[in-house]
Structure 1
Amino acid sequence: MTDTDVDIRSLPFPEALRWLRENGEPADPRTDVDTASLKSRFPRLAGVETRDLTVETPHGRQPARVYRDPAAEASGHALVWVHGGAFIGGYLDMPESNWVALELAARGIPVLAVDYTKCLGDVHFPVPSDDVLAAWRYARAHADELLGMDADALLLGGASAGGTLTGGAIARLRDAGEPVPAGLVSVYPAAHPDGGCPGEIPDPTSPTTQIALNYAGSAEALADPHVFAGLGTGEGFPPTIVVVCEKDALRPSGEAFAATLADAGVDVTLHVEPGADHAHINEPSDPTVLPTIEAIADWVRAR
């Protein structure tokens, strides 16, 4: 089987993990999701400028990319953005990273999109979380140069596994006494070890629990709010938007996370995208995507 024949999402998780470990990230079969094609399809993106760079982390160098549109009306905030991929896949050129960043930059929200070490074998928490924290600290240290913003105007956000990583990163920053972001953008996160049944003992046969255990590295870590922020109290979190999808099996986790934040007195917005399913922002042709992008952009502008 070639990398263009396999659909990782259709495989049982242990098989997907084994395939990625042996073969690496498969090529995206879509021919219209590269940057040039996206700018041709969506002319509003034409003015977005990008710059690739690397970020030093405790575990090596990770790729990152800056997105800015000099002609866009400034929102007053910039975003450090982390893609998903079940902690075992994903990369900066996937639409959930690249296209989302292009769209937000075109709306006056400069973006630093970042990558992280995948949990393929012996790698587990805190490695990818450390990478996200390193990227966040790098963004703060170079906010003006990279994004044209003061460090205190930076937001942190991510989708799916990226939503999990960014929520956990904020919990770690808070507990370390470091400045937390000006806001959190959490898109269909797995904020609990069994995202379909938050608050219950994780079912070891559940695919979401299998993914969670591979990320966490141990059964004990499944109870750690630095690993899954939905397990914490929510105290000390910044203003947050949580986006969930109507048809997503992980919707209960996002909703429970939003409720936890609200109970802690956090300014939280829960946006439910009608008709959408998990990973919808990784498909530019999905009609539910732009309403999500606009909801995020409106929330950022309202900060």
Structure 2
Amino acid sequence: MTLHPQARAYLAALGSDDGGPPLDLEAVRDIRAQSRAAALEQDRIGLDHVADVDADGVPCRLYRPRLGAPVALYVHGGGWVMHDVETHDVFCRYLAHVTGWALLSVDYRLAPEHPFPAGLDDVERAARWLRANGRGHRVDTDWVPAIGDSAGANLVAGLCVRDPALLDHQVLLYPVTDRRADLDPSLENAALGIDDMTWMWEAYAPGDRADEPEVSVLRAADLAEHPPAVVVTCEHDVLRDQGEAYAAALADAGVQVTAHRALGMIHSFWRQPAVFDASRALVVAVGGWLDTARSTAREA
């Protein structure tokens, strides 16, 4: 299938097919500043309650659409090196508003200043804090899933490798799963290039550290105890094949998996509902998947 017209228009606006100049720390810091400034200028949906919280030393932002809402951990993407709760604030508000799910968005430490396992340690600490303290913030923590996009999905999956019992469900949007996977050049575009992905891997988990199962989760020896999963990939994304390989590995281990390939879509579409019809549809679908999984678990 060809690129969706909205994806073609988005890539044309980005410019160069190869994503522009190669990444380095200076470029990453510029992107961080520009992304944050752009995010702060956007309009925001009002919710019942939004508050910055300290999750045992990890800064997080809690979004509650109503009292007693079920809550999910949210782990943002950005190649482990970019973005924060502010850049994902508009989208998290939208996600909470549309689905009715509260979210705890984790502002984990970024590489290369803080390489593995710093970001994963922060995500684990935030998840444990949510389990222990969420009720005090008037959200329902009886059943806690996690949602992550891209590198955030890698961190969610890595947390499941570290402690399979900590989360009740995992929603992985175009996850990074294997440092040694071949990336198909035909799937490269301005949304995510191979050279940039390689640089980000080295920034987060340099050398042999990338082979650790908490990082290259596809290499984990035993996935059988992992929580049920939803894995979403994009047809035109260099991470597509490794994401689908991870979904297959989970299924082969006996884990309940829903795998969905977004046809015509590119990396990062999920968090851009103003640009992609497919993003809006997927947000509704994720809310439905979580509602169904939660109801099924409570009936068991």
> What is the rounded CA distance, in whole Å, between the counterparts of 1:268 and 1:191 in structure 2?
16
Cα–Cα, structure 1 residues 24 and 246, in superposed 2: closer, same or farther, change >3 Å?
A: closer
- Flag the 1:272–1:99 CA change in 2: closer, same or farther, 3 A: same
Spell out, residue by residue over 1:40-93, the C-alpha distance to the aligned partner (whole angstroms, 9 max, x if none): xxxxxx44421112223xxxx432111111279x5xx42000101111110112
For residue 231 of structure 1, the aligned residue among 219, 227, 247 is 219
Whole-Å separation in 2 of the counterparts to 1:13 and 1:282:
24
TM-score, normalising length: structure 1: 0.79
- What is aligned with 1:221? 209
Letter in 2 for 1:19: A
Task: Give the whole-Å Cα distance in 2 for the aligned partners of 1:137 and 1:256.
Answer: 29
Contact kept? 2:161, 2:226, Cα under 8 Å: yes
The alignment-based identity, stated in percent, is 27
User: Does the CA-based 8 Å contact 1:182-1:238 persist in structure 2?
Assistant: yes
Unaligned runs of 5+ in 2: 1-13, 185-193, 294-300
More helix by share: 2
**Aligned equivalent of 1:100:** 92
- Counterpart position of 1:69: 65
Give 1:1-303 correspondences, 5 Å limit: 10-15=19-24, 17-21=25-29, 23=30, 25-28=32-35, 37-39=43-45, 46-56=46-56, 61-70=57-66, 77-95=70-88, 98-121=90-113, 123-146=114-137, 148-150=139-141, 152-174=142-164, 179-194=165-180, 197=183, 206-218=195-207, 220-232=208-220, 233-285=222-274, 286-303=276-293
- Quote how far apart the aligned CAs of 1:134 are: 0.8
Aligned with 1:79: secondary structure? strand
User: Distance between the aligned counterparts of 2:179 and 2:279, measured in 1?
Assistant: 26
Superposed CA RMSD in Å reads: 2.8
CA contact (8 A) 2:269 2:279 kept: yes
Q: Is the 8 A contact 1:78 1:110 kept in 2?
A: yes
Secondary structure, counterpart of 2:60 in structure 1 = strand
**2:288 is aligned with what amino acid?**
D
Deviation of residue 211 (structure 1)?
1.8
Distance in 2 (CA, whole Å) between partners of 1:91 and 1:85 is 8
The amino acid that maps onto 1:26 is A
Structure with the greater relative contact order (CA < 8 A, sep ≥ 6): 1 or 2? 2
Q: Secondary structure at 1:236's aligned position in 2?
A: coil
Aligned residue number for residue 42 of structure 1: none
TM-score (norm 2): 0.79
Q: Offset at 1:35?
A: 8.7
Q: 1:70 to 1:26 in 2, by over 3 A?
A: same
Contact 2:77 2:151 in 1 (8 A): yes
Aligned residues: 267
Matching residue's letter, 2:62: V
Whole-Å separation in 2 of the counterparts to 1:147 and 1:101 = 17
Deviations 1:195-214 (A, max 9, x none): 5549xxxxxx8542332122
Q: Secondary structure at the match of 1:291?
A: helix
- In structure 2, relative to structure 1, the CA distance for the partners of 1:264 and 1:35 (3 Å cut) is farther
Structure 1: gaps of 5 or more residues: 1-5, 40-45, 199-204
CA distance in 1, matches of 2:157, 2:195: 22
